[in-house]
């Protein structure tokens, strides 16, 4: 009683990725293969995020909460605010989002193309 239909089908698709079978490669070429994560601040999907200490380590946040930020947001935050300001006033994502400067930045960045998010994938076999 273990053979659920969907499970059996998925098992077929999972045959060794390195198998040199053309049909298998077509199945593998779905564009969702790359792991992507969403930035907690701007919510864009990026290839990888950086860890931001909501309370900077220098201000006692070494073991405190962190947020996953894309590098654009992360750089922007540290460009806009000192560690003291971050620690005292902007130590959570909602507080950051409520800040007028961050708010303006977010409005701007959401209109930008995703940084490397839509990179062109080279086809396995070109015509």
Q: What are phi and psi of 85, to 5 degrees?
A: -65, -45
Instruction: Indicate the residue among 15 and 82 with the shorter CB distance to Zn ion.
Output: 82
- What is the smallest separation between the CB atom of 33 and Zn ion, expressed in angstroms? 22
**Which has the closest alpha carbon to 70: 114, 15, 121, 4?**
114
- What is the smallest separation between the CB atom of 95 and Zn ion, expressed in angstroms? 14
Among 70, 90, 96, 102, binds Zn ion (CB under 5 A): 70
Rounded Cα gap, residues 127 and 114, in angstroms: 28
Region 83-102 residues binding Zn ion, contact defined as CB under 5 A = none
The yes or no reply on residue 42 touching Zn ion (CB under 5 A) is yes
Q: What size, in residues, is the chain?
A: 127
Q: What are phi and psi of 53, to 5 degrees?
A: -80, 115
Choices 16-24, 33-41, 99-107, 119-127 (CB under 5 A): range interacting with Zn ion: 33-41
**Which has the closest alpha carbon to 69: 97, 110, 41?**
41
The yes or no reply on residue 39 touching Zn ion (CB under 5 A) is yes
Instruction: Indicate the residue among 52 and 91 with the shorter CB distance to Zn ion.
Output: 52
């Amino acid at each position: 009683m273990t053979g659920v239909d969907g499970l059996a089908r998925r098992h077929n698709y999972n045959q060794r990725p390195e198998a040199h079978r053309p049909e298998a490669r077509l199945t593998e070429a779905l564009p969702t293969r790359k792991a992507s994560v969403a930035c907690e601040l701007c919510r864009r999907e990026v290839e990888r995020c950086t860890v931001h200490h909501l309370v900077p380590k220098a201000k006692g946040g070494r073991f405190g909460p962190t947020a996953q930020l894309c590098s654009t947001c992360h750089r922007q935050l540290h460009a806009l605010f000192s560690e003291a300001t971050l620690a005292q006033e902007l130590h959570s994502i909602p507080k950051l989002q409520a800040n007028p400067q961050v708010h303006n930045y977010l409005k701007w960045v959401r209109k930008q193309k995703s940084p490397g998010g839509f990179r062109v994938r080279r086809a396995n076999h070109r015509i």
